């Protein structure tokens, strides 16, 4: 997780936000993998689309 101390560019919307590090592939299935930074709204949208 990021420390949320500064705004960085969200991978999806490309706007400056306080972002969290997010695994592209489910960590529970694929263990470690590539991560991106997503803002709260894009992170929620991503999980809503997948249904979890």
pLDDT tens-digit series, residues 8-52: 999 999 999 999 888 877 666 667 778 899 999 998 988 887 665
> Residue 10's pLDDT is what?
95
Is residue 4 within 8 A of residue 18, CB to CB? The reply is yes
pTM of this structure: 0.69
Contacts with 2 (C-beta within 8 Å, 6 or more apart), sequence order: 8, 18, 19, 20, 21, 37
Domain ranges of the chain: 8-50
Q: CA–CA separation, 37 vs 13, rounded Å?
A: 10
**8-9 and 16-17 strand pairing:** antiparallel
């Amino acid at each position: 997780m990021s420390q949320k101390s500064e705004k960085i560019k969200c991978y999806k919307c490309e706007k400056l936000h306080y972002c969290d590090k997010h695994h592209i592939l489910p960590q529970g299935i694929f263990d470690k993998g590539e991560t991106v930074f997503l803002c709260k709204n894009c992170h929620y949208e991503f999980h809503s689309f997948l249904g979890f």
